[in-house]
Copies of this chain bind each other. A is one copy, B any other.
Amino acid sequence: MPRRDQATELRVIPIRGMGEIFAGDSVAEAIVTGLRRQRLNLQRGDILAIKHKIVSKAEAQMVVLERVQPSPAAKRWAARYGLDAPVVHLAEQQARRVVRRKRGVIITETRHGLVCANSGVDVSNVDGGRCAVLLPADPDRSAREIQKTIAKKLRVSVPVLITDSFGRAWREGLTEVAIGLAGMKPFRDYRGRRDAYGYRLRASLEAVADELACMAGLACGKLSQSAACIVRGFPYGSGRGNARSLIRPKERDLFR
Contacts and interface: CB of A to CB of B under 8 A. Distances in A.
Given A12-B9, A218-B234, A125 B171 contact: no
By CB atoms of chain B within 10 A, which of A202, A212, A222 has the most? A222
B246 A6 contact: no
Nearest to A215: B215
Interface residues of A, number: 79
Interface stretch (A25-33, A55-63, A140-148, A186-194): A186-194
By CB atoms of chain B within 10 A, which of A5, A7, A127 has the most? A7
B172 A125 contact: no
A158 B255 CA distance: 37
A7 to B, nearest CB: 4
Contact of A170 (B173, B221, B247): B247
A149 interface: no
Contacts of A24: none
Contact of A173 (B102, B126, B207): B207
B210 A175 contact: yes
A68 B190 CA distance: 27
A234 to B, nearest CB: 6
A242 interface: no
Contact of A12 (B10, B13, B198, B217): B10
Contacts of A170: 115, 169, 247-248, 253, 255-256
Contacts of A202: 124
B224 A218 contact: no
Given A10-B219, A169-B169, A172-B248, 6 more contacts: A6-B221, A11-B12, A124-B202, A128-B197, A171-B247, A173-B207
9 contacts: A7-B219, A7-B221, A10-B12, A128-B199, A165-B206, A168-B207, A175-B207, A206-B217, A206-B222
Interface of A: 4-14, 16, 100, 102, 105, 107, 115, 117, 123-129, 165, 168-177, 186-188, 190, 193, 195-199, 201-208, 210-212, 214-215, 217-226, 229, 234, 245-248, 253-256
